[in-house]
Amino acid sequence: MSDTTPSAPSAGTTSSAGQLFGETIMSGQHGGLGGQFDVPGDKSISHRSFILGGMAIGTTRVTGILEGDDVLATGRAMQALGADIERLPDNSWQITGVGTNGLVSPDAPLDLGNSGTGVRLLMGVVAGQPITATFCGDESLSKRPMARVTDPLEQMGAKVTSREGGRLPVTITGAETPLAADHTSKVASAQIKSAVLLAALNARGTSIIREPHASRDHTESMLRHFGASVRQAVQEDDTHHIELDGEVVLKAADIIVPRDPSSAAFPMVAALLTEGSDLHIPGIGMNPLRTGLITTLIEMGGDITISNERIEGGEAVADLHVRHSQLTGIDVPPERAASMIDEYPILAIAATQAHGETRMTGVAELRVKETDRIAVVADGIAACGGTVRYDEDSMTVTGAPVAGGVTIASQHDHRIAMSFLTLGMVSQNPITVTGCGTINTSFPRFAELMNGCGANLTAGTGA
C-alpha cells in the first residue's frame, strides 16, 4: 500500500523488532546503556490525533506521530469512516476531517488488530452519530471485555450487539441524537471516559462523567485544543468530574506529538538497573497523569534528572538523564495506579533488583489488558528465579538476584515482551522471549534502538 495511507511504515522502520530480530529475541548482560535514546511518539496522543483530526472541520497537520501497528489501525479505521488521511514526504501526517457529524458507515468491519485504545475510542465515535460499524480484532483483542464501554454508550442511545460478555465482534449503530451522558465509572479508565466523551460531542446539553480519581486526560486536553468546552474538577470526596458541552464544532488544529513516557519506561529502567549506564532520553511527555512511574522510581532511589521542562503542542515535555542506581523497595500508593497502569510490568522488573519488597496495590485493571498482566508478570518472574506474591488487586516483589536462563512466552503482549527483555539485561543468565513481533504495536525499532545504546539483544533460537 502506498505511503499516503496509515498502513505505511515510518521512515527507517524496516528494522523493527519483529522484522530484524524475528518473533524470538534473547537478552543478555551488557556494559551499560549510554548516549541518547530517541523514544517514539506518544501512543495515546497519536490515536487521538487521527480520531479528532478526522472529526474536525479543516486540515490538521500532525508531527511526531507513533507509526506503530496499533495507531496505524486507528488511522485506517478513520479513513474507512470517511476522513482523508495522508502521510507527507517529511513524515508528518495530514488529516482532513469531515466534522463531528460527517462520518459514514464503513463498507467492511473495522479491524483494530491488537489495539484496545483504538477500538474503545472508535466505539464512542460511532455511537455518537447515525452510522453503523462492526468492530473486530485479533485473537487477543477479541478476548478483552468491551461491555464497560458499550454499556454507557447504550445509555446514550446507541444500539449494540456483541458476543457473550460484550466481546468482539461488536456492532454499534449510533443514535440520531445522542443523549447527554451522566455516567459514574467504577474505575479510573481513560478509555471508558474517552469513549463517552467522543459519543457526547453530538449530544444536546452537558455530559457529566465521574471517576473515583483522575485517569490520563489527553482526550480532555485535545478536545479543548480542537475547540470543545471541557471542564475538570476534583470534588470534596476526591472523585474526579468531567463536563463536556455538547453539539460541538471541532476545528482543525495542528499537533506536535511528544515522545511516549510509557515507551521511555523500558530504556529508563534498563539504565537504572545496569552498571555503567548514563543515558539521555529527550522530549518525553510529562503530563502529570502519565508520570507515576518516574515519581515511583525516584522514590525508590533512582537517579533520574528532569530538565528543559517546556510546553509543546499543549503538552508538558522534558528531557530525562538516567544513571545506574541501587533501588530500594517501597509501597506504591494505589491512587497512583491510573497514572502508570501500563508501567506496572516494567516496575515489577525494576523491583526484582531493589533492596527489600516493593508492594503494588490497586492494580486490578492489569487483569483486563492484552493479557492478565498480574499473573503473566508474576509467573514470569518466578520462572526466572524471582519471588512474587499476588492476588486479584496487588503484586509484591521481593528483590534478589535473578537466575534467568529460561524462555518466557510474552503471550503476544508488547509490554510483557519488553519487560522481560529488560530483565534479561541483569539476570545471571540470558532470557529468551517469544512473541516479540507484537512489540511493533507500540515501539517500532525497540531492539535496534536498545542495541544502539549498548544493549545485548540478539535473534533467539527459532527467530
Number of structural domains the chain divides into: 2
Tell me how far apart the alpha carbons of residues 112 and 3 are, in angstroms, rounded to a whole number: 20
The CB density around residue 108, as the number of other CB atoms within 10 Å, is 9
Nearest to 138 by CA among 447, 463, 440, 454: 440
CB of 227 closer than 8 Å to CB of 248: yes
Instruction: Please tell me whether the peptide bond between 169 and the residue prior to it is cis, using omega within 30 degrees of 0.
Output: yes
335 in any annotated domain: yes
- Residue 178 sits in the same domain as residue 123: yes
- Residue 69 sits in the same domain as residue 90: yes
8 in any annotated domain: no
**DSSP conformation class of 178:** P
Phi, psi of 147 (to 5 degrees): -60, -35
Residues carrying an active site annotation: 342
Q: Which amino acid is at 408?
A: I
- Residue 291 sits in the same domain as residue 344: yes
User: Considering 238, 255, 272, which residue would you say is the last residue of a domain?
Assistant: 255
- Residue 287 sits in the same domain as residue 200: no
This prediction has a pTM of 0.87
- Residue 204 sits in the same domain as residue 314: no
C-alpha grid cell, residue 144: 478483552
Strands 182-184 and 206-211: parallel
Angle at 284 between CA 278 and CA 288, to 5 degrees: 120
Tell me how far apart the alpha carbons of residues 366 and 360 are, in angstroms, rounded to a whole number: 11
- Residue 33 sits in the same domain as residue 103: no
Give Cβ neighbours of residue 219 (< 8 Å, ≥ 6 apart): 48, 121, 190, 193, 194, 197, 198
- Name the CA dihedral angle for 341, 234, 295, 267, rounded to a multiple of 10 degrees: 40
C-alpha grid cell, residue 7: 498502513
Distance of CA 305 to the CA centre of its chain: 24
CB of 188 closer than 8 Å to CB of 163: no
The CB density around residue 306, as the number of other CB atoms within 10 Å, is 14
144 in any annotated domain: yes
- Residue 88 sits in the same domain as residue 27: no
What does each C-alpha distance from 412 to 239, 379, 436, 456 come to in angstroms? 35, 16, 7, 21
User: Considering 195, 220, 255, which residue would you say is the last residue of a domain?
Assistant: 255
- Residue 386 sits in the same domain as residue 435: yes
218 in any annotated domain: yes
What local confidence, expressed as pLDDT, does residue 2 receive? 39
C-alpha grid cell, residue 308: 528543559
243 in any annotated domain: yes
What does each C-alpha distance from 69 to 34, 147, 192, 207, 437 come to in angstroms? 28, 24, 22, 32, 10
1 in any annotated domain: no
What local confidence, expressed as pLDDT, does residue 313 receive? 66
Domain of 391?
13-42+258-459
Q: What b/e sequence results for 342-380 when a residue is b if at least 16 CB atoms lie within 10 Å of its CB, and e otherwise? A: bbbbbbbbbbbbbeebbbbbbbebbebbbbebbebbbeb
Distance of CA 257 to the CA centre of its chain: 14
3 in any annotated domain: no
- Residue 82 sits in the same domain as residue 199: yes
- Residue 202 sits in the same domain as residue 279: no
- Residue 63 sits in the same domain as residue 194: yes
User: Considering 210, 226, 255, which residue would you say is the last residue of a domain?
Assistant: 255
Domain CATH code at residue 143: 3.65.10.10
Print pLDDT tens along the chain (463 aa).
334 556 543 323 333 444 457 799 999 999 999 999 999 999 999 999 999 999 999 999 999 999 999 999 999 999 999 999 999 999 999 999 999 999 999 999 999 999 999 999 999 999 999 999 999 999 989 998 899 999 999 999 999 999 987 899 999 999 999 999 999 999 889 999 999 999 999 999 999 999 998 888 999 999 999 999 999 998 888 899 999 999 999 999 999 999 999 999 999 999 999 999 999 999 999 999 899 999 999 999 999 999 999 988 678 999 999 999 999 999 999 999 988 999 999 999 999 999 999 999 999 988 878 889 999 999 999 999 999 999 989 999 999 999 999 999 999 899 999 999 999 999 999 999 999 999 998 899 999 999 999 999 999 875 4
Nearest to 377 by CA among 342, 427, 330, 401: 342
4 in any annotated domain: no
- Residue 60 sits in the same domain as residue 118: yes
Nearest to 271 by CA among 310, 318, 305: 305
What local confidence, expressed as pLDDT, does residue 294 receive? 98
